[in-house]
Amino acid sequence: MAGSDPEKLIAKADKLTKLSLTRWSADWKSATVLYEQAGNGFRLAKNCEKAKIAFEKASKGQEMLSSPWDAAKHMESAASLAKELGNWNEVADFYRRASELYNECGRSQPASDALTKGARVLEDAAPDEAIQLYTDACAILEEDGKEQMAFDLYRAATSVYIKLEKYTDAATFLLRWGLAADKCNATYSQCKAYLSAIIVYLYAHDFKQAEKCYNDCSQIVTFFSSDQNRCASKLLAGYTEGDVEEIKRVAQSSTVSNLDHVIIRLARKLPTGDVSAMKSDAANGQETLDEDDLT
C-alpha cells in the first residue's frame, strides 16, 4: 500500500469518509491512515498543494478520533507546506488551529511554539500578523506561568516593531517584558528591558515620554539600584544639558553594549534630531515645576 499512488490513496480515503446510502458512518480510522500516507507521498513528490490538502484532511481525521496531539502535528505539517506555497493567510490560520489543538491537550509550550513558528515565517511577509502571533504566544505562556520562556518571544517581537518603526509600541512591549521579568525574578533582564525602553523613546525624539518612563522605572527598587539606572540617568542628563559628546559617550559604554543588538544600533545613532530643542523644553518644564512648588 505504501508504494501506491497517493492520488489513489486520497480517492480511497475520501470514499471511506463520504457518507452515502451504503455507508452510515465514516470510517475515520483507516481514512486517516490513508490520508497520512497520501500526504507523505505528495510531499516526496514535491506536490505541495495536494500534500497540504491531504494533511488537512488527516488532521481532521485525527480530531474525529479524538487525538488532538496528532491532529495538531498534521496541522503544523500542512502549515509548513502552505508556507512553501506562499499562502500567508493559510499559514496563519493553520498555525493558530494547531496551537488551539495543543491547548486542548493541555500543553502550553508546544502551543506557543506553534504560534512562534508561524510568526517567524510571517515576519517578512505579514509583519502585523506576525506581531499578533507573538503577542498571543506570550499570553499563552504567561497564563501558564512560564514567563521565562517568553523572553525570546519578547525580543523577537520588539525587533519586528522596531523594523516597522513603531517605536511607541516597541517601548510598550519592552515594558511588558520588564513586567514578565519581574514576575520570575529575572532582575538583570528587567533592568535591561527598562533601559532599552528609555533608549527607544529617546530615539523617537520623545523626551517627555522618556523622562516619564524613567521616573516610573525609578520607583522600582531593583532598577533603581542597578547599573542600567545610572546609565539612563547619565543619558537623560546629557539630553537636558544638550551635551552631544556626553550622549555619544554613554551610548558607547559597556552597559549599553550588553543590550540586544537592535537596541544597540538605535543607541549608536543617538542623539537624533535637535538636542538643544529638548534642552529648552526641559528648562521650561522645570520652570513650571518651580511655580507649582511655590503655590
Partner 1 sequence: MSVIDVLFRVDSICKKYEKYDFDKQRELNASADDAFSRLYAAVESDIDAALHKSTMASMEKNRASVVAMNAEIRRTKARLMEEVLKLQKLALKKVKGLSKEELATRSDLVLALPERIKAIPDGTATAAKQTGGWGASASNGKIKFDSDGHFDSEFFQQTGESSQFREEYEMRKMKQDQGLDIISEGLDTLKNLAHDMNEELDRQVPLIDEIDTKVDKATADLKRTNVRLKETVTKIRSSQNFCIDIILLCIILGIASYLYNILK
Burial of 245 (0-12, 13-18, 19+ CB in 10 A): exposed
Give the angle subtended at the CA of 151 by the CAs of 149 and 155, to the nearest 5°. Answer: 140
Nearer to partner 1, 35 or 151 (CB): 151
- The contact mask relative to partner 1 for 206-245 (x = CB under 8 A, - = no) is ----------------------------------------
Entry field: residues in the chain: 295
Find the shortest distance in angstroms from Cβ 68 to partner 1.
20
Considering only the stretches 40-48, 131-139, 143-151, 199-207, report the one whose residues sit in contact with partner 1 under the rule CB under 8 A: 143-151
For residue 147, give every residue at least 6 positions away whose Cβ sits within 8 Å of its Cβ, in sequence order, or none.
141, 180, 181, 183, 184
Of 38-46, 92-100, 110-118, 144-152, the window that binds partner 1 (rule: CB under 8 A) is: 144-152
In the bound complex, what is the minimum distance in angstroms from residue 233's beta carbon to partner 1? 18
Nearest CA-CA partner of 238 in 230, 157, 120, 286: 230
Cβ at position 135, least distance to partner 1 in Å: 21
Contact 26, 18 (CB under 8 A): yes
- Greatest CA separation for the chain: 92
* Residue 255 found at the interface with partner 1 (CB under 8 A): yes
Looking at residues 147 to 206 of the shown chain, list those that interact with partner 1 (rule: CB under 8 A).
148-149, 151, 184-186, 188-189
Using CB under 8 A, list all residues that contact partner 1.
Answer: 148-149, 151, 184-186, 188-189, 254-255, 258
